[in-house]
Amino acid sequence: MGTNSVHMLVVRFYEGTYGTAVYRDKEAVRIGRCVFTEGRIDTETLERTRLVVSKFRNAAESMGATAIEAYATCAAREASNRDELVAVVKGCGIDLRIVPGPEEARLTRLGVLGARADVRTLLIDIGGGSTEVVIADGEEDLYLDSMKLGAVRMAFASGVDQSAKVPFEKYDELRRMADMQSYRSAGRVRELGFRRAVGSSGTLVAIAEMCGARRGDGDGSYFMHYELSALMRDLCSADVEGRKRFPRMGPARADIVIGGGAVADELMNLFGVDRLEVSPNGLREGMQMDWAFRRGGRDIDIRRSSAVALAARCGVDRKHYETVERYAMELYDGFGVADVIPHTDGWRELLGFAAVVHDVGEFISFDRSNIHAYTIIVNSSMAGFDMEELTDIALIARFQHDTMPKPGAAIFGPMDMAERTAILRCAMLLRLADIMDRGRDASIKSIGVAADRSAVTIDLRSDTDISMEVWKLRTAAKQFRKVFGRDLRVVFGPI
């Protein structure tokens, strides 16, 4: 329950995973609007909140939810009548927990970055009433802060009318307010430093989508500081109705985007952020992670958890994908030892994840399942992966059942030649691994690889008849030569 909206996330937990989202919803109730002007939540807003919470609870239970947790953030913390809010939610059969600012920051960090940050990362989450700043390195949170800055607070409690056009001096006034609230965080961020900057919340998602639309590529996964500054100048030159006509602007955000954008603008300036990646995840995904942690899930690999959960949700045969994954890893290692491919761990890992999710497209249809798999994977928002990695995995899964394109094909977009080549090699290895388990019986017990300048020989050993698998592998020789520039030879025999 945020300052601007009530968010719901329904999660199904599978063994060995952090769970997968099966339903999301949100409704703007603007709890903070009266809190920041009158100090309390008015009766009308309490009633709207009751209706939304009741509806969300019914929806969750109809999907089989056996536990419901509810957290409230900044507006609830500051409301003089927060006990009334707790009572209203209690009347819906739910216990509401009002979390302090640092805990909100910690949970948001879990939702956006997962259990472990690969590099020292700055996280900025601009909510309705508060802005959380985190610096995470590995599993450690080096800095957590929650500042009284937010899109709703700045829109209705700043004294700057944002329903009409906003003159430059008034926008500058909003930035100075952000500067005054963030002096402590600015000092700590500069002191600790960071290698990556990530933003979250509805405000930053909306800004990223608008910047992507103005840029022309539609990529809403990031924005540059100079793009934000130019966007804010144009937004300030329009009134609320004019802002609603901006491409990718949500009508419900037009009256609060100036305040939220001013906070983002000033923090990027103070922290020295030129490029801000944007995540759609936030506090509710952090609640999901924390729930799993409290039940012994801390040692789960977040990336593998995401892949396994997606496969489970799409009904993929677990024994088959585990077998294909094992075969793909043995092939990758064998090709590496034989100097057919560079032995780089990064692509080995992505190939393994592609093996786990390569059949998710069958959830839609067996026909063109590889195309459906690409669509599902690239839009899955699997936790622990960035958009580039999701695209790599999706393309590996797509090509495993298709004619291999040339490295210069348009489907690769702006990728460099090394990345295109690596994707095609991994896709070919995944194709071979999938064929090896065509009987879905894990009958191949060992895989050997040898190579010379003209050919790669794969030696398969089994205690059963694998002649069909061998025949099918040999039919892939033409595509194999297209990818690796060598002939494919397959030999087999008993263990």
Count of CB atoms within 10 A of residue 445's CB? 13
Rounded Cα distance between 435 and 358, Å, is: 13
Cα atoms in the 13 Å half-sphere on the side-chain side of 387: 10
Rounded Cα distance between 186 and 269, Å, is: 10
Rounded Cα distance between 102 and 42, Å, is: 27
Rounded Cα distance between 333 and 447, Å, is: 10
Contact 192, 137 (CB under 8 A): no
Phi, psi of 42 (to 5 degrees): -75, 165
Write the CA distances from 413 to 384, 419, 425, integer angstroms. 23, 11, 18
Contact 262, 171 (CB under 8 A): yes
**pLDDT per residue rounded down to tens, the chain (495 residues):** 998 889 999 999 888 888 888 899 999 898 988 999 899 999 999 999 999 999 999 999 999 999 999 999 999 999 999 999 999 999 999 999 999 998 999 999 999 988 888 899 999 999 999 999 999 999 899 999 999 999 999 999 999 999 999 999 999 999 999 999 998 999 999 999 999 999 998 999 999 999 999 999 889 999 999 999 999 999 999 999 999 999 999 888 999 999 999 999 999 999 999 999 999 889 988 999 898 888 877 777 878 888 999 999 899 999 999 999 999 999 999 999 999 998 766 899 999 999 999 999 999 998 999 999 999 999 887 877 877 899 999 999 999 887 888 888 888 888 889 999 999 999 999 999 999 999 899 999 999 999 999 999 999 999 999 999 999 999 999 999 999 999 999 999 998
| pLDDT value for 117 | 87
Reduce the DSSP state of residue 195 to 3 states and report it. coil
Pairing of strands 140-147, 96-98: unpaired
Contacts of 5 (CB under 8 A, 6+ apart): 26, 27, 28, 29, 128, 202
Nearest CA to 202 out of 138, 253, 263, 269 is that of 253
| pLDDT value for 345 | 67
Nearest CA to 137 out of 192, 188, 186 is that of 192
| pLDDT value for 14 | 86
| pLDDT value for 475 | 93
| pLDDT value for 61 | 95
Rounded Cα distance between 69 and 84, Å, is: 18
What is the b/e burial string over 414-441, where b = at least 16 CB atoms within 10 angstroms of the residue's CB?
ebeeebbbbbbbbbbbbbbbbbbbeeee
| Max CA separation in the chain (angstroms) | 81
427 torsion bin: left (phi>0), alpha (psi -120 to 50), beta (else): alpha
Rounded Cα distance between 272 and 285, Å, is: 27
Contact 379, 270 (CB under 8 A): no
Q: Which amino acid is present at 232?
A: M
Measured N-to-C along each axis, helices 257-271 and 202-215 cross at an angle, to the nearest 10 degrees, of 80
Pairing of strands 444-451, 275-279: unpaired
Helix (H) or strand (E) holding 213: helix 202-215
What is the residue whose two structure tokens read 């607070």?
Answer: 153
Helix (H) or strand (E) holding 154: helix 151-156
The pTM of this model reads 0.74
DSSP at 367: T
* Partners of 132 in the β-ladder: 125, 146
Rounded Cα distance between 247 and 234, Å, is: 12
